Chains A and B, each alone.
Chain A
Amino acid sequence: MKSLILKDLFNIGHNAKSMLFILVVFAVALIPFSDVEGYIFVCAILCSMMIVTTFSFDDNSKWTRYAMIMPVSKKELVVGKFVVLAIFCAVGSLFGLVIGSISGFAMRKITFDFAGIGELLFLALAAWVISLIFGSMSIPLVFKFGAEKGRVLLLVSFLIPAGICFGIYQLLTILGVELTDQLVFILLCCSPLPVS
């Protein structure tokens, strides 16, 4: 499995400079007008999306066929992608944390006290988890349908639930039901999400 992880890291290394550039552009565009927290999430999500790019590289070089003749099992092939995703998310969260903290401190948006640092670390961890969940949804889709179709399906798989949620929210508003924080929390606890 180490070889699979190395292969993806070497492959994506070529794109790292452009990703770095994009993240810096986002830092300049987001942090002055928004907050550091949002920037950390953006960095983590953007980096998690690179996992689909690694599939494109694999498709391009017919890697999967070659991997199957190596002493690597299909299970390792799948687990390897999740490990690479976890690395990408960690790099994104950490980058967001470091650049966000420096920029936020420079713009006096955050303070480096115990509570402030703790909150930022917690946010970076939350960004890592959420980007990991986001990326994890893409892996089975791309394995099943390939990188190109997988990308479209990934978008659809986010838009449809978002559309349904928005529709329900609108319907509840029309019916006069007000969604309070407490109600949302209760609904979240009742949903299958915490179980999974």
Chain B
Amino acid sequence: MDAILQVENLTKQYVGFMLDHVSFSVPKGTIMGLIGENGAGKSTTINEILDLIHKDDGTVTFWGQELSSSSQLKEDIGVVFDDINFYDTLTPAKVGKISSAAYKQWDEYLYQGFLNRFQLPSDKEIKTLSKGMKMKLCIAVALSHKPKLLILDEATSGLDPVMRDDILDVFLDFVQDENHSILMSSHITTDLEKVADYITFIHQGKVLFCKTKDELRYHYGIIRCGAAMLDQLDKDEILAYRKDDYQWNVLVADKGKARRKYKNAVVDDATIDDILLLYVKGEQAR
């Protein structure tokens, strides 16, 4: 696996919270989704990856190099946070001038193309733009210095479904180049279901799993059953379980096997949302 980003044993201790030996890698040509509830450690992980906060332990390498070792690496990494980081009175045209002075790889023609594509007026002040327009501007800036890796921290949060769909299309276009990758954190799991190739689930500062989206979609399932049936289930197969009003929902890693084994039980497909909810709000079996 040819990884663009390799995260190993990332650790950070805060009072009341610990990011605990987080490890995962983002292969070339893929989109890695980082999911987890609010406060799970997604943003802390991204901030540590970008050297914005001091790591207690662990290593982060981009194309095999640490971020501090070369300024060229920053040219190849585009970052979008959950809010715009340019002051309200600037205009997209001025943002372009500032960014073009910062990045050697800046492509003004590409930037103007994104402004047109996103219907962003170049002379309007940022404070007059909607939340969605601001995010589009951030994405236009991040893409116009021709990065090979995009890191997005809750970039689609707060956008309406139409805007989100537009932006997800842009991300899918970006990874058409097999040397490009995206690491995106989001708690809108439907977005990740649409575009991600891999899902890393962080819960209470720990990586619960890092799997391909297809494995989650095609193999994970939820057994809906009563209390009596729950007792009969093989405990080794249960990942997490939770009681609803009238039934138990049991998350299993192999729904095909569960359907064959428990013919009287209803085994549904599990969405990423279901998986997240069962892990976060339910009991973990192992």
Chain A residues in the interface with B (C-beta under 8 A)? 2-3, 6-7, 10-11, 13-14, 57-58, 60-63, 65-66, 68-73
Chain B residues in the interface with A (C-beta under 8 A)? 50-52, 71-72, 74-75, 77, 79, 81, 83-90, 94, 97-104
What CA separation (Å) do A2 and B77 show in the bound complex?
20
CB distance from B121 to the nearest CB of A (A): 17
Contact of B94 among A2, A10, A70, A73 (CB under 8 A): A10
Contact of B75 among A62, A68, A71 (CB under 8 A): A71
Prevailing SS type, chain A contact patch: helix
B103 touches A71 (CB 8 A): yes
A69 touches B50 (CB 8 A): yes
| Smallest CB gap from B85: residue in A | A66
Which among A7, A58, A65, A68 has the greatest number of chain B C-beta atoms within 10 A? A7
What CA separation (Å) do A35 and B84 show in the bound complex?
46
CB distance from B127 to the nearest CB of A (A): 10
B90 touches A3 (CB 8 A): no
Using Cβ atoms and an 8 Å threshold, which residues of chain A touch B83?
A: 62
Further pairs besides A63-B85, A66-B85: 7, Cβ < 8 Å: A3-B99, A6-B101, A7-B86, A11-B87, A11-B89, A61-B88, A72-B102
| Smallest CB gap from B151: residue in A | A69
Using Cβ atoms and an 8 Å threshold, which residues of chain B touch A66?
A: 79, 81, 85-86
Using A62-B83, A63-B87, A70-B103 as known contacts, say yes or no to A7 and B50 having CB atoms under 8 A apart: no
CB distance from A135 to the nearest CB of B (A): 20
Using Cβ atoms and an 8 Å threshold, which residues of chain A touch B71?
A: 71, 73
Q: What are some 26 contacts across the A-B interface (CB < 8 A)?
A: A2-B101, A3-B98, A3-B101, A6-B97, A7-B86, A7-B98, A10-B97, A10-B98, A11-B87, A57-B87, A60-B88, A61-B86, A61-B87, A62-B83, A62-B85, A63-B87, A66-B86, A68-B50, A68-B51, A69-B50, A70-B74, A70-B102, A70-B103, A71-B71, A71-B103, A71-B104
B102 touches A3 (CB 8 A): yes
Using Cβ atoms and an 8 Å threshold, which residues of chain B touch A65?
A: 52, 81, 85
CB distance from B106 to the nearest CB of A (A): 10
What CA separation (Å) do A63 and B51 show in the bound complex?
15
Contact of A71 among B51, B81, B86, B102 (CB under 8 A): B102
B52 touches A68 (CB 8 A): yes
Using Cβ atoms and an 8 Å threshold, which residues of chain B touch A73?
A: 71
